[in-house]
Structure 1
């Protein structure tokens, strides 16, 4: 009679992955604030992704707009009676709910793409600086120190003044303004991890430098990077909104939440608050949700900072 073999024991790597996941699940089960942040972020992201199907109209299709419906208050019906503007309309007769959903797509997309690009560049440079050290490390950190001594918005404004408007231009400006955060964070983590025994053992075994960097060193540098990246997504969205509000970011043909706020700002004192306030509320909720989720990630990935 054959005996059933016992299930294989979990590897240390598996347990290292499972522990943060268990802490994250327990945190969301016990904290209403954490659950609210995650649910709010999921709702906003899904609304942005499904904007073409959820929005009552395409606010940037001129065939669907009617100037006679301009600046209608929330709850008003269109002139032909076929559409109810739940959040009102702007000066061009665009449905504000539709404009916000489409604006969310651009704001979230620009923030995520810029963050991922800045993360990749800063992570690669910081990893090399922390592992190899020497002159490359010294030069890179002096460049990062110089950039970080200037406000991010100033760096982005200078680049946009040179490049002009456009989604690609503002992504480049945001990457240039944020890569130094990731480079310094990665370098600090790499300096600590690079002195540990498992890195020395990998060198003694004759493993190639790329394998040591990306197979052994990088995974142990990721936890602080994930937290910084989550926070920087919110920072990138807020920075893009500020630049667009000032007229330096996206063109009027590709409006984000910041440009929607700017379009309605002139009507605030005339009582038509909805044109600017509702996009502002959407931007506030988006940044709040990202920060709440990032705060929980910080607690999970660094147990010493867990809230008691």
Structure 2
């Protein structure tokens, strides 16, 4: 005797729905690349060290009360007169290079993150306004974007800092002005595609306000490209801040910066004190490479057509 069981629709368990969420799918695809995972781990470690810098470093390298000129120029691993071992050596002023690098990373991450968030906000508003309203507004905004992108970012930043002067806040403002055009163009390109879809026509038929359509319906669909561009741009912002400080127009000498550390050690390379300049340079390169590894993997995950 054959028994035929009636097909009964099984209820979907909430955990299965959670497992198939976009965030989980993104996480599973991201961890498939070991280099990207390594880059993420290195970046998180660097960020943690920068946050905890006042509590984990042997000294505040820019507090004159904690410096001893007798400890100046110590080689990596050499002990001072007080018995403290400086694993990365000291500069001629007696600063612990390990502490100076950690504090320099702190400034670099703060400058890059703050400028990134502000530039993204400005770029989102400009890009969506240009795509949504079109016409003359679109032409004016995009001509400004094209004009800015036609000049090298370092040139614009140098001109701005020459007018504004040195300072962390001045560097942040210069990086915001330099970067917003990238996000405006990215958002506009994504928004133009989304505006032609049916859900945008439905939102207009419901007589929703322009602000609600732009920021509640249009913006969420323009976020994925911003993640990729933002990840790449934060690495560029760190490199640009270091370059400006190296040239002497960025962070003042009273503040820690990897660019300043490299510049200060440049004069001592021929004398054999390589660690004053080389170790900050290695820290800068490792940070930028780690961020770029994450950005490349995010680009491949969010846009599968770019995968090799």
**TM-score, normalized by the shorter chain, greater than 0.5:** yes
Correspondence list, 1:185-196, <5 A: 185-196=186-197
Structure 1 residue 19 and structure 2 residue 19: aligned?
no
Structure 1 residue 79 and structure 2 residue 81: aligned?
yes
- Distance in 2 (alpha carbons) for counterparts of 1:168 and 1:9: 47
- Distance in 1 (alpha carbons) for counterparts of 2:30 and 2:214: 32
Q: Tell me the CA shift for residue 8 of structure 1.
A: 7.6
**Residue 56 (structure 1) aligns with:** 58
TM-score, scaled relative to structure 2: 0.93
Change (3 A) 1:8 1:212: farther
Contact in 2 for aligned 1:106/1:255 (Cα 8 Å): yes
Contact in 1 for aligned 2:29/2:301 (Cα 8 Å): no
Q: Tell me the CA shift for residue 9 of structure 1.
A: 7.2
Contact in 2 for aligned 1:20/1:300 (Cα 8 Å): no
**Residue 38 (structure 1) aligns with:** 40
Gaps of at least 5 residues in structure 1 are: none
Query: 1:27-82 CA distances to partner (integer Å, 9 max, x unpaired)?
Result: 31x3221221111111111111111111111111111110111111000111121x
Query: 1:4-38 CA distances to partner (integer Å, 9 max, x unpaired)?
Result: x946879x9x89x823532432431x322122111
Structure whose alpha-carbon radius of gyration is higher? 2
Contact in 1 for aligned 2:30/2:298 (Cα 8 Å): no
Structure 1 residue 275 and structure 2 residue 279: aligned?
no
Contact in 1 for aligned 2:33/2:297 (Cα 8 Å): no
Q: Tell me the CA shift for residue 215 of structure 1.
A: 0.8
- Distance in 2 (alpha carbons) for counterparts of 1:26 and 1:216: 26
What number of residue pairs does the alignment pair up? 299
Correspondence list, 1:1-20, <5 A: 6=11, 18-20=21-23
**Residue 260 (structure 2) aligns with:** 259
Gaps of at least 5 residues in structure 2 are: 1-9
Contact in 2 for aligned 1:60/1:253 (Cα 8 Å): yes
Query: Runs ≥4 in structure 1, deviation > 4 angstroms?
Result: 5-10
Contact in 2 for aligned 1:118/1:178 (Cα 8 Å): yes
Query: 1:123-153 CA distances to partner (integer Å, 9 max, x unpaired)?
Result: 1111110000111110111111111010000
SS at match of 1:270: coil
- Distance in 1 (alpha carbons) for counterparts of 2:33 and 2:146: 38
Correspondence list, 1:140-179, <5 A: 140-179=141-180
Structure 1 residue 124 and structure 2 residue 125: aligned?
yes
